[in-house]
Amino acid sequence: MNTQNCFHCGNDIVKTEEILFEDKSFCCLGCKTVYEIFSQNDLTSYYDFEKAPGATPQEVHGKYDFLDNREIVSRLLEFEEETVHIVSLYIPHIHCSSCIWILENLQKLQKGISQSQVNFSQKKVRITYDPQLTDLKTIVLLLNAIGYEPYISLENYEGIRKTVDRSLIYKIGVAFFCFGNIMLLSFPEYFEVGEYWIDQYKDFFRWLIFALSLPAFFYSGWGYYVSAWKSIQSRMLSIDIPIALGIIVMFVRSTVDIVFDYGQGFFDSMCGLIFFMLLGKLFQQKTYSFLSFERDYKSYFPIAVTKINRDGREEATQVYDVEKGDRLLIRNQELIPVDGILISENAYIDYSFVTGEEVPIAKKSGDKIFAGGKQIGKVIEMEVLHSVSQSYLTQLWSNEVFQKKTNLKYKTITDTVSRYFTPALLLLAFISFGYWIFIDTNTAFNVFTAILIVACPCALALTAPFTLGNVLRIMGNRKLYLKNATVIEQMAKVDTIVFDKTGTITSNKKSAIAYEGTPLQEKEIGKLKNLLRASNHPLSRRLYDFLPVMELLEIREFEEITGKGIRAIVANSEIRLGSATFVGSSKTEKSKQTNVHVSIDGEYKGKFTFDNQYREGLEKLFKRLSRKYSLTVLSGDNEGERDNLTQLLPAGTILVFNQKPEEKLAYIKELQEKGCNVMMIGDGLNDAGALAQSNVGISISENVNVFSPACDGILDASQFSKISYFLKYSHNAMKTIMMSFGLSLLYNAVGLSFAVTGNLSPLVAAIIMPLSTITIVSFVTVMSNLYARKERN
């Protein structure tokens, strides 16, 4: 066992805070308590499956009081009966087999729970309980107490149940059933030509095959006819037209063949074709069900807030029921759901969620506060000005430009190729028909249909789904989760990349602060802390949070000199804090890091060094990207970092500051109107509009389970420096597709040479079709894996 890490959560243990319990060491009381709960209930197997699988339980005080409200609870429930309630809860922490085990043994921890079932890929647990023995609040608090806090937001309240669409799987099942049986029934005629018994039974075989092909033709293939018809109507030559044409011609010609006893027809090829193409669709459909790419403000908003009634009682109220004039209580880290006026003396509100500005804003009693901010610190009271639907954030979101354009017609690479392929195919069919008609009418019809059958672009249509589906998976393994396969095509077309600053190229984590110089005594630290309390400068706030809590001291003659530092007399000693020259240090040094120097009573003590908060590999990444792409950094912050950034980033990078969410969106739009393909990389809600407007919107997330705005892809923050790799890989994916197109056209040429000369037999078709499919699928799989390996570093 590792003594350095907490037995429960695996975090590093600070030696002074180490807690020993039953020979195991824990980092904090919370972790120890969870262990105690488990060990009392004989559930310590939890620690056998994975090492340190847990999470530290968070403090909740009254956060879930709204679950006392019957109405809210019944909206959350999936099933409600007198003695049985079923609820599905989303738990972001679910990540390993230990999690599954403990959550499926909840009935041992809480009476009344009869069953709990985990869906790992959706990170959900479905709990069945008896409402007479326990209630939802108890269960949620229990989950929280063992470190599995569920995430309940306004979105759950809306309760839109998604119906799962499984029709593709049914279609594949039916197509495979038909394909398999028809293939077997076709063999006798392929191999036993002219034998006596075949002649006797062939009608039976053929009509059985015909009957078996009907479900595949009418049910499984239906989607292709519909989409072909749609693309004809919108005058787009999509790949579905030759596919649908091929299937229909195959079916009609085969039926004619068996009716007039010309031959056995192409039913096996037809069903195989439908089956393989549906399989390609399924392969491309890979989704990350635990991530959501279509979020709106509802998934951030709490379900309920604490309202203070006229008689002073606190009551949990549904946010939609909040009206103008109500008084609300907002706790530490809670989101303010509506616009209002601050009643408490003062508040620190973090608007990073809306504006991207990370420094909390101080508000005084009577100030207006807007929805979307998070209160930091103590509990505040506010009076409501607008209801939820009329608040700033909701209005901003309802703004039309902020909606992701879903039905934006996008031409895929396959459609582009098919624009040439389809007319060429039809032309060839008609020319051959025109040639043969003068020789033999019968052969002319044969050749005409044979061309359409053999050229049916099965391999062509499969290329993109299999390549992109595979690339999607490989990128997912490397922690870039894309919404769907078309995003890869879009990525390959990008020529301009726009970065957000805060949270994207900078890290959200509190950067480390180090002290260098004469060691400070506790008293001196106390004095510093008191001086910092008075200052609102971002660096002061960070340093203030860094220093340990000390008693309050009296401050006199406080002065803040912009651009230099702060000074005051604290408990009779003069303290200066700021730039080297300001505190009177003789040392002048050039350093990329931000330093704050300290002097006490005129004596230089040392400096606090703030670690560079930019992400690792930022310089290298920008350098690599600047060769191929034009780069822009858009920031909601003020110009404070301009000098630092110009130094850090390659020349030619455009820096734009003071951008509101709408302006970011407008900036992207402007670039697009100039003909650029823009990739936007951002994080918070303040980038939501820009992410939606851009051709490819990638959201950066420190923890992919936490929510990110609507986007095309989510990138794990640790992979930030690999952006150039992903872009290059998308280019290579397109290259693979082009090569594979060449290969499938080669197959088409071979098949067509049979067809044009009038020699296409069902056997040839039955061989060429699966052979080309298998070649293409294995080719693109090998190529995309090869490219992925090559570019790894």
Partner 1 sequence: MSVIYILISISIVVAAVFLYVFIKAVKSGQFDDDYTPSVRMLFDDELQKDNKQKTETKIEKQN
Within 8 A by CB and 6+ apart from 132, the residues are: 83, 112
The only residue of 15, 162, 193, 197 in contact with partner 1, by rule CB under 8 A:
197
The only residue of 79, 191, 204, 420 in contact with partner 1, by rule CB under 8 A:
204
- Shortest spacing between CB 122 and partner 1, in angstroms: 7
Contact 682/504 with Cβ under 8 angstroms?
yes
Instruction: Check residue 761 and report its DSSP letter.
Output: -
User: Is residue 132 a contact residue for partner 1 (CB under 8 A)?
Assistant: no
What is the number of other CB atoms lying within 10 angstroms of the CB of residue 206?
A: 22
- Shortest spacing between CB 530 and partner 1, in angstroms: 46
The only residue of 28, 76, 91, 118 in contact with partner 1, by rule CB under 8 A:
118
**Binding footprint of partner 1, residue count (CB under 8 A):** 35
User: Is residue 399 a contact residue for partner 1 (CB under 8 A)?
Assistant: no
Q: Taking CB under 8 A as the rule, which mask of x and - marks residues 212-231 in contact with partner 1?
A: x-------------------
* Segments in 642-722 forming alpha helices (H): 642-648, 661-673, 688-693
- Shortest spacing between CB 556 and partner 1, in angstroms: 56
- Shortest spacing between CB 220 and partner 1, in angstroms: 12
User: Based on CB atoms, which residue is closest to partner 1, 43 or 734?
Assistant: 43
Q: Which of 724, 668, 667, 727 is nearest to 694 (CA)?
A: 668
Read off the tokens for 758: 């009038």
User: Is residue 525 a contact residue for partner 1 (CB under 8 A)?
Assistant: no
- Shortest spacing between CB 11 and partner 1, in angstroms: 25
What is the number of other CB atoms lying within 10 angstroms of the CB of residue 611?
A: 14
Stretch that binds partner 1, among 148-156, 178-186, 462-470, 485-493 (CB under 8 A): 178-186
* Segments in 290-330 forming alpha helices (H): none
User: Based on CB atoms, which residue is closest to partner 1, 116 or 394?
Assistant: 116
User: Is residue 122 a contact residue for partner 1 (CB under 8 A)?
Assistant: yes
What are the strands, taking DSSP E only, across 294-432? Answer: 304-308, 314-318, 327-330, 340-342, 346-350, 361-364, 368-369, 374-376, 380-384
- Shortest spacing between CB 173 and partner 1, in angstroms: 5
- Shortest spacing between CB 49 and partner 1, in angstroms: 9
The DSSP annotation for 421-458 comes to HHHHHHHHHHHHHHHHHTT-HHHHHHHHHHHHHHT--H
- Shortest spacing between CB 639 and partner 1, in angstroms: 49
Within 8 A by CB and 6+ apart from 82, the residues are: 131
- Shortest spacing between CB 102 and partner 1, in angstroms: 10
| Centroid of chain to Cα 166 | 22
User: Is residue 112 a contact residue for partner 1 (CB under 8 A)?
Assistant: no
- Shortest spacing between CB 133 and partner 1, in angstroms: 11
User: Based on CB atoms, which residue is closest to partner 1, 123 or 253?
Assistant: 123
User: Is residue 177 a contact residue for partner 1 (CB under 8 A)?
Assistant: yes
For 132-167, give one letter per residue: b (16+ CB within 10 A) or e.
eebbbebbbbbbbbbbbbbbbbbbbbeeeeeeeeee
**What are residue 603's phi and psi, to 5 degrees?**
-100, 125
User: Is residue 14 a contact residue for partner 1 (CB under 8 A)?
Assistant: no
Read off the tokens for 93: 């922490």
Instruction: Check residue 301 and report its DSSP letter.
Output: S
- Shortest spacing between CB 631 and partner 1, in angstroms: 39
Q: Taking CB under 8 A as the rule, which mask of x and - marks residues 78-107 in contact with partner 1?
A: -------------------x--xx--xx--
User: Is residue 291 a contact residue for partner 1 (CB under 8 A)?
Assistant: no
User: Based on CB atoms, which residue is closest to partner 1, 207 or 410?
Assistant: 207
What is the number of other CB atoms lying within 10 angstroms of the CB of residue 381?
A: 17
Stretch that binds partner 1, among 37-45, 82-90, 324-332, 699-707 (CB under 8 A): 37-45
Q: Taking CB under 8 A as the rule, which mask of x and - marks residues 39-58 in contact with partner 1?
A: -xxx--x--x----------
User: Based on CB atoms, which residue is closest to partner 1, 174 or 768?
Assistant: 174
What is the layout of strands, in order, in the sheet containing 85-90?
79-80, 85-90, 124-129, 113-119
**What are residue 631's phi and psi, to 5 degrees?**
-115, 145
- Shortest spacing between CB 147 and partner 1, in angstroms: 17
User: Based on CB atoms, which residue is closest to partner 1, 163 or 234?
Assistant: 163
Read off the tokens for 320: 């939609």
- Shortest spacing between CB 105 and partner 1, in angstroms: 8
The only residue of 52, 60, 142, 208 in contact with partner 1, by rule CB under 8 A:
208
d(CA 385, CA 61): 26
Stretch that binds partner 1, among 111-119, 216-224, 236-244, 643-651 (CB under 8 A): 111-119
User: Based on CB atoms, which residue is closest to partner 1, 212 or 322?
Assistant: 212
Q: Which of 222, 82, 188, 22 is nearest to 762 (CA)?
A: 188
- Shortest spacing between CB 10 and partner 1, in angstroms: 20
The only residue of 56, 119, 609, 719 in contact with partner 1, by rule CB under 8 A:
119
User: Is residue 191 a contact residue for partner 1 (CB under 8 A)?
Assistant: no
Contact 615/702 with Cβ under 8 angstroms?
no
d(CA 688, CA 398): 12
What is the number of other CB atoms lying within 10 angstroms of the CB of residue 575?
A: 23
The only residue of 109, 245, 577, 734 in contact with partner 1, by rule CB under 8 A:
109
d(CA 488, CA 788): 14
Within 8 A by CB and 6+ apart from 395, the residues are: none
User: Based on CB atoms, which residue is closest to partner 1, 44 or 333?
Assistant: 44
User: Based on CB atoms, which residue is closest to partner 1, 164 or 408?
Assistant: 164
- Shortest spacing between CB 282 and partner 1, in angstroms: 11
Positive/negative CA dihedral, 722, 730, 670, 689: negative
Per CB under 8 A, which of residues 154..173 are in contact with partner 1?
A: 164, 166, 169-170, 173
User: Is residue 287 a contact residue for partner 1 (CB under 8 A)?
Assistant: no
User: Based on CB atoms, which residue is closest to partner 1, 477 or 591?
Assistant: 477
What is the number of other CB atoms lying within 10 angstroms of the CB of residue 792?
A: 10
User: Based on CB atoms, which residue is closest to partner 1, 174 or 692?
Assistant: 174
Read off the tokens for 664: 């970011």
Within 8 A by CB and 6+ apart from 385, the residues are: 324, 338, 339, 340, 341, 368
User: Based on CB atoms, which residue is closest to partner 1, 174 or 471?
Assistant: 174
Within 8 A by CB and 6+ apart from 64, the residues are: 137, 140, 141, 144
User: Based on CB atoms, which residue is closest to partner 1, 162 or 674?
Assistant: 162
The only residue of 185, 359, 471, 692 in contact with partner 1, by rule CB under 8 A:
185
Burial of 65 per CB tally in 10 Å (0-12, 13-18, 19+) = middle
User: Based on CB atoms, which residue is closest to partner 1, 196 or 260?
Assistant: 196
User: Is residue 572 a contact residue for partner 1 (CB under 8 A)?
Assistant: no
Per CB under 8 A, which of residues 266..285 are in contact with partner 1?
A: none
The only residue of 180, 476, 606, 758 in contact with partner 1, by rule CB under 8 A:
180
Strand partners of residue 573: 570
Binding site for partner 1 (CB under 8 A): 40-42, 45, 48, 97, 100-101, 104-105, 108-109, 111, 117-122, 164, 166, 169-170, 173-174, 177, 180-181, 185, 197, 200-201, 204, 208, 212
